[in-house]
Amino acid sequence: MKVLAINGSPNRDGFTASLLDMLLEVCGNAGADCERVNISDYTMGECGGCGKCVKNGVCCQNDDYVQLKAKMIDADGIIIGSPYYAGKPTEELKLFMDRLFLSSAYYCYFKHKYVVGVSTSAVNDPKKVAKYCADIGKLGAMGGAIVSGLLYECTVTRMDIKDIGSDQEIKERVFEVGNKLIKDIESKYIPGFYKLRCWFFSKWRGYVAAKIVGLFDGIRSRAVSFCENKGWIKKLNRIE
């Protein structure tokens, strides 16, 4: 049983990294083979939007992204952490997720993998970013991964990283989330409608999305034409 933690923070020894290490300690005590990687150690280009990965599930850029994705595929549990940066995860993690989304969603590379989202913030509730880190599985971006839990902590009153490691309340939450992850992996927990969700994302998501976009575009065009004919708005110059 392997558990991989991805530190999305540029600070390899910050609050987010501390929570990840505490989770890995719980998983390790339960018998898991654990590893923590720092996304700042990987060199990755931005997604070029070429769409080639949708056809074969392989990104055309041969950089460190390939190595990190391979580590995720090899793990049973994946813990993804990022601090709260203006309401979003770090730029480095977001870049990686953009690449991961298109190349993984249709091919179920992460089917039956279990994901935990982790976040910290010194100014706002970090739950939003923790949900983002975890929901890549729930929303199909990781091609069928299962969300096992969330762990987030507001550090506004904490000036020392040691405060997190010595806080009994945080230790209890870490123990609960870590053991839930191990239990889900060992029991092969499957949530309701899981198979239906995997089927939808792998087979029909692109088709349905295209139909919905086409429907709304048609409605918008007819509404504009109707308003123009009524004289409510000026006619727009169109290039046919």
Tens digits of residue pLDDT in 161-184: 667 777 888 999 999 999 999 999
Q: Are 93 and 100 in contact (CB under 8 A)?
A: no
Rounded Cα–Cα distance for residues 169 and 220 (Å) = 52
For tokens 């969603």, the residue is 105
Other Cβ atoms less than 10 A from the Cβ of 227: the count is: 13
Tens-place pLDDT, residues 55-71:
777 888 889 999 999 99
Q: Are 129 and 82 in contact (CB under 8 A)?
A: yes
Which H helix or E strand runs over 63?
A: none
Other Cβ atoms less than 10 A from the Cβ of 126: the count is: 25
- Looking at residue 228, its amino acid is E
Beta bridge partners of 154: 121
Rounded Cα–Cα distance for residues 111 and 120 (Å) = 27
Confidence of residue 144 (pLDDT cuts 50, 70, 90): confident
pTM metric for this prediction: 0.79
